[in-house]
A = this chain, B = another copy of it.
Amino acid sequence: MTLSPTVENYLKHLFTEQQDSDAELLPMGKLAAALAVTPGTATTMVKTLADAGLVTYEPRGGVRLTARGEQHALNVIRRHRVVELFLVKVLGLDWSEVHAEAEKLEHAISEKVLEKLDELLGRPDCDPHGDPIPRATGKLAVMQFKSLMECELGLPQRIMRVLGQDTGFLQTLHRLELVPGAKVTVQTRAEFTDSVNVKTAGGKTTALGASAAAKILVQPA
């Protein structure tokens, strides 16, 4: 069975949205928002996916990937992340711009090309944002990192992963040297001003808002 790019996108977003809200069923509104389509469009498509056995759908309840749907979703995510890493490591594209490119390429990569890319890159575990790359078998490593909002103060931390794909956000992080692999220390966390003070390897100190700090995941260095 070959899935259309559109269907692949529904499955991919279904998986990622499902992951970061641990409810039983994903509300249709969340899915529609993630895909930037109207709720009516999402409903129509989800019914089609349910008929194809890729999701279970409860009217006015929500939607959830079946095991089969999840395998397809993981395969799309694998293609996406391998391509992202290829664009950065082999072609030298900017960390902040590869997401949009990969969105198009992920639907045009055959299993054979994917395998060759994976080999060329040395069977990588993570993409340039630190997002784990599902194995060809469908296995996805689940890493539990703390964010800059939760980690210990004063202790050196290594950035492991950055959530979010907005180009501007990523460009800023790059400028601030807040990229996966970099070492940082959270100096203070101001309670009511919604702000975190972070010292980078370069010695500079930067103030981050809570929503930004929550997207930067670290582990003690």
Contact = CB atoms under 8 A, between A and B. Distances in A.
A33 interface: no
A76 to B, nearest CB: 14
B113 A87 contact: yes
Contacts of A116: 91-93
Interface in A90-104: 90-93, 97, 101, 104
Instruction: Place the interface of chain A in its size category.
Output: 10 to 19
Interface string A84-127: 00010011110001000100110111101100110010000000
A101 B105 CA distance: 12
A112 B97 CA distance: 10
Interface of A: 87, 90-93, 97, 101, 104-105, 107-110, 112-113, 116-117, 120
Given A93-B112, A93-B113, A101-B112, 6 more contacts: A90-B90, A91-B116, A91-B117, A93-B116, A104-B108, A105-B108
